[in-house]
Structure 1
Amino acid sequence: MMRRQARLRREYLYRKSIEERQRTIQENKAKVKNALDKSHILPSALRKDALLLAEKTDWDDEGGQGIVTHEDDEYRWAGVEDPNIVITTSRDPSAKLKQFAKELKLIFPNSHRINRGSYEMTTLLEWCRSKNVTDFVQVHEHRGQPDTLIISHLPYGPTAMFSLTNVIMRHDIPNMGTMSQQYPHLIFHNFKSRLGQRVVNILKHLFPVPKEDSKRVITFANQDDFISFRHHTYKKEDGKNVVLEEVGPRMEMKLYSIKLGTVENIDAADTEWQLKPFMNTSKKRRYLSDDPGFLTKNATEA
């Protein structure tokens, strides 16, 4: 089992290593095609290979999405198989963190909550892989308040880390509705950048495909890079009016890191994106709705 996991990991890293080279070729082909279509002068750096690139563009389909990325490899079974999620906490959780983990179990269909106990993270992740778990979710706290949500996609990543604020439990919401067990419809608002689409990709694959008659809705609304999480059910009255009932919990999430690895080797994994101190002072930049720099190297150069 360990040899197989090591071999699959090496194959995944190799496919990811050639991705940047393929992306550069794809971008050069697009530049040549655009110059030929508009009768513009070719960029000087591309004139040497322009004929070869122009021939290759004839085989590109209109509806294609370009090169196959490591994101396609990470979520290749999305929509084919329902996600299988394990939820746990940090060690020695408070009563409120345990309650929050239970409420997360109600949010994510096909999820299982386990007690952290004294288990090492490496042992937990090995067990999850042996049980075909697709996502590992962990919550942390500060002084009894949930403050961090970690979502690690198995078997190879990515791992997204969110800070949590204004967490309100279900039973603290006035006129709380009844929790539904239907697969929810998802609403993502104002995720326009490449980073925003990456976050959407990570979050949406935590949920199975819903049926059309499902009356359950989960909303992720981005405003100033804070993601508002809301959970509702709805019903029709008199055949016309739609009545929403909030069932909770309610919280605000802010992305601060995406790692290309799983949570047990998070320190050694490559950083895909990370929130830097100087980004907090850039009030006009909105990293989930605009696209000032998706990759870490771009954000570092900004």
Structure 2
Amino acid sequence: MLRRNVRLRREYLYRKSLEGKERLLYEKKRKIKQALEEGKPIPTELRNEDAALRQEIDLEDERTAVPRSTIDDEYANANERDPKILIITSRNPSAPLTQFAKELTLVFPNSQRMNRGSQVITDIVETCRSHDFTDLIRVAEHRGVPDELVISHLPFGPTAYFQILNVVTRHDNKDKKEMGTVSQAYPHLIFESFSSKIGQRTATILKHLFPVPKADTKRIITFANQSDYISFRHHVYRQSGGPKSIDLKEVGPRFELRLYQIKLGTMDQEEAQNEFVLHSYMNTSKKQKVLGE
């Protein structure tokens, strides 16, 4: 089993390495097409490759005209079955972290929480693979305050690392009596301002934690990005009065996420290549937003 996982992982990384080359070739062919359509001379840097590129353009069809991303490989089977998620904490969790992990099992359908004990991450990841889990989520804390959320897609990745801020659990909310019980219906998802390439990548990682909802579901989960801080909100609604009048009720928990790293591997693979790392120089008002406006 270990040798098979190593082989499959190696094949996946090889496909990922080809993605950059395919994108470069796609850009060259796009420039050739644009020059031909506009009746302009072929760009000087492409004249030596002009004949070969035109031949490839002639052989393209709808399927091969646009390079295929390895994201398609990572989530190729996502629509065939519902997600199955395991939620763990760091070792010796405090009561607030344990409560937060419990509430996350209410947020993510088909998820279950496991007391980690003395188990190491490598063994947990292998157990998840053997039991067909699609994702592993780990929450960590600093001095009793949840401060990190890690989402690792299985079997090969990616793994996204988020900082958690401003956590308000259902347990700590002063209006928890008005919240009622959490609906078990699959929620509709709202993603706001994930327009950049990394933003779309982040939205892909988050949305595949949820199954496809029914059309009449009255449960909504929102991920709203503002200045690279993602606000998580959880609501239910019901019609009141006319057909265009609804009552919206927050059911919690609520928190903010800040993406700081994406790795092309699972949680146990420290040597995995970084796809994205948040650098300190990005955190200025004049810098371009990472996730989008």
Q: Same fold (TM over 0.5)?
A: yes
The 1-side partners of 2:246 and 2:23 are apart by: 46
Partner of 2:214: 211
The 2-side partners of 1:94 and 1:203 are apart by: 26
Partner of 1:252: 256
What aligned pairs does 1:1-302 form with structure 2 within 5 A after superposition? 1-61=1-61, 66-173=66-173, 174=175, 175-240=178-243, 241-265=245-269, 267-289=270-292
Q: Residues 271 and 62 from structure 1, CA distance in 2 versus in 1: closer, same or farther, beyond 3 angstroms?
A: same
The 2-side partners of 1:11 and 1:270 are apart by: 14
1:238 maps to a residue whose letter is G
Please identify, of 160-169 and 52-61, the stretch whose mean Cα deviation from structure 2 is larger.
Answer: 52-61
Deviation at 1:59, TM superposition (A): 4.1
User: 1:190-215, CA deviations, whole angstroms, 9 ceiling, x for partnerless residues?
Assistant: 01100100000100000011110111
The 2-side partners of 1:188 and 1:36 are apart by: 39
Identity %: 55
The 2-side partners of 1:163 and 1:56 are apart by: 45
2:127 maps to a residue whose letter is W
3-state secondary structure, aligned to 2:182? coil
The 2-side partners of 1:162 and 1:71 are apart by: 19
Deviation at 1:177, TM superposition (A): 4.0
Cα RMSD over matched residues?
1.5
Count of paired positions: 289
3-state secondary structure, aligned to 1:137? strand
- Give TM-score, length-normalised by structure 2: 0.94
Please identify, of 54-63 and 82-91, the stretch whose mean Cα deviation from structure 2 is larger.
Answer: 54-63
Deviation at 1:15, TM superposition (A): 1.6
User: 1:18-62, CA deviations, whole angstroms, 9 ceiling, x for partnerless residues?
Assistant: 222111111111111111111222211111111221232234456
Deviation at 1:284, TM superposition (A): 4.0
Please identify, of 174-183 and 75-84, the stretch whose mean Cα deviation from structure 2 is larger.
Answer: 174-183
Please identify, of 281-290 and 17-26, the stretch whose mean Cα deviation from structure 2 is larger.
Answer: 281-290
Contact persistence 1:177–1:233 (CA under 8 A): no
The 2-side partners of 1:221 and 1:41 are apart by: 45
- Give TM-score, length-normalised by structure 1: 0.92
3-state secondary structure, aligned to 1:47? helix
1:45 maps to a residue whose letter is E
Which contiguous aligned blocks of 4+ residues in structure 1 show a shift greater than 6 angstroms?
none
